[in-house]
Amino acid sequence: MKTETPSESRALPVAAHTPGPWTESSDGKIPVAIANLERKVGIAIVESGLGHGPVDFREVAANARLIAAAPELLVLLQDVGQWLEAGLSRGQISRGTANRDGDLVSQIRSVIAKARQS
């Protein structure tokens, strides 16, 4: 039986979203585009303000960077969740440590499920 290496466990199962890496791209103006440049696929256009006052380009650019990081954040969260569950099951991590902010394993699973909804 083959055991997965950490790098193999990082691979996301086939998902409904466009795989990463995603990149934010801007010419210093709004809107900011997010795309997977390798696949030449647009992901999103990030804007702000919606006509309710001045638009802060720094906020729009920060939102775009956060969105662009989403695929990598999801993979890392999956890795952390697997590591945490393995550590708990082997007794290497105490339940008290893992649950100091609530049930951390459940919170991780919930966020991953939210990201995978289609």
Q: Which amino acid is at 50?
A: L
Residue range 18-31, pLDDT digits in tens: 778 888 877 776 67
Burial class (CB in 10 A: 0-12, 13-18, 19+), 53: exposed
Residue range 43-77, pLDDT digits in tens: 788 776 666 667 777 888 888 888 889 889 999 99
Q: Is pLDDT larger for residue 79 or for residue 37?
A: 79
Q: Is 22 left (phi over 0), alpha (psi -120 to 50) or beta?
A: beta
Burial 3-16 (b: 16+ CB within 10 A, else e): eeeeeeeeeeeeee
Task: State percent of the chain over pLDDT 90.
Answer: 8
37-to-22, 28, 30 alpha-carbon distances in Å: 7, 19, 19
Residue 87: its H or E element: helix 70-89
Taking the domains of the chain in order of start, what are their residue ranges?
1-13+72-118, 23-68
Closest-CA residue to 72 (of 117, 114, 24, 10): 10
